[in-house]
Amino acid sequence: MPSLFDPFRLGDLSLSNRVVMAPMTRSRATADGLATESVAAYYAQRATAGLLISEGIQPSAASQSTINTPGLHTPEQVAAWKQVTDAVHTNGGHIFAQLMHSGRVSHPDVTGTVPVAPSAVGVGAPIFAADFGDPTGMQPAPIPRELTTTEVADEIGVFVDAARNAVEAGFDGVELHGANGYLIHQFLSSNANQRTDAYGGSLNGRIRFAVEAAEATTQAIGADKVGIRLSPGSQLWGIEEHDVPELYAALASALAPLDLAYLHTVATAEEDVLLNMRKLWPGAFIVNPSTVINPQPSGKAEGEHWLAQGADLVSFGRNYLANPDLVERFRTGAPLAEADTATIYHGGDQGYITYPNRQH
């Protein structure tokens, strides 16, 4: 069985270990979606991971979910990300940009426009329309506008344009965010997707948007630079999926011929669902062991479990908040620091780039 500390070849990238830093929203960008020097420092501190996956980056202005999240749809945003990718590469790391289109999980107070979605079905819960730290920032989620069939292609184009921008900004690749209740996941859903055209109804209809977005992105920047993240069975943001094993088997099978860099799945379904996806997936397979149902941060033991089950790489989220040297702490068995929950989603440098490496 491979170790978390063994190297791995991911496309053209030689990863120094099999530990991946999972994408995590931190809301430290400027009001106009620019990454800052502190963002560069944050990722550079964690560059000993085999692979870093950025926080969700909105691929268009209209796809933003909450304030102070970064974008990749203007020249200024592309330029701002270059300081981040340069810092990571200088520290010997590799980084993919996660492209996150929020779909219905947004608000006109954030974007100035009514959010779009597969169908005019609301989230059914309040969402953040202001700073995460502002208790008055929660607002009722609006009913989204249903995309026309023609407009669906436009939203696929949004991912493609942002992927090109990511490569220009120096990212090693992109991850399409198909998890956690956002746009791609909404198309996969049984309840958020009520369409009767080619993008709804049957399993093949519901997976079509994800497959076409992945296919178009690979054509734009190369398959070895494109991954996708999924969360089978996740109920975040009101999502329901009544046929999880069949749905994700069909999706994995349809994506397999594209020869993507990786398939990244959260352990939100029964283990046999993920193991079947592993069997159907010919390429690199990343598992994130931690789930909303199991809120404890995952550690070395969970990582080793998934490597034994056939995962090639294991991603860790919450333990990377307060442990920038997580790989070394896993290697030495050193205790893990706990993050200050009050500073996860908002604020300045405190609780962001102030966590130290362990002193030896």
Pairwise CA distance, residues 55 & 302, whole Å: 22
Pairwise CA distance, residues 92 & 4, whole Å: 18
Given 182, 248, 345, 355, which residue is catalytic?
Answer: 182
Pairwise CA distance, residues 193 & 16, whole Å: 41
Pairwise CA distance, residues 176 & 312, whole Å: 19
- Which helix (H) or strand (E) segment holds residue 88: the answer is helix 75-90
Active site residue 182: yes
- Which helix (H) or strand (E) segment holds residue 216: the answer is helix 203-221
Helix or strand or coil: residue 343? helix
Q: What phi and psi values does residue 207 have, to the nearest 5 degrees?
A: -85, -10
Pairwise CA distance, residues 288 & 192, whole Å: 24
Pairwise CA distance, residues 70 & 54, whole Å: 10
> What residues are labeled active site?
182
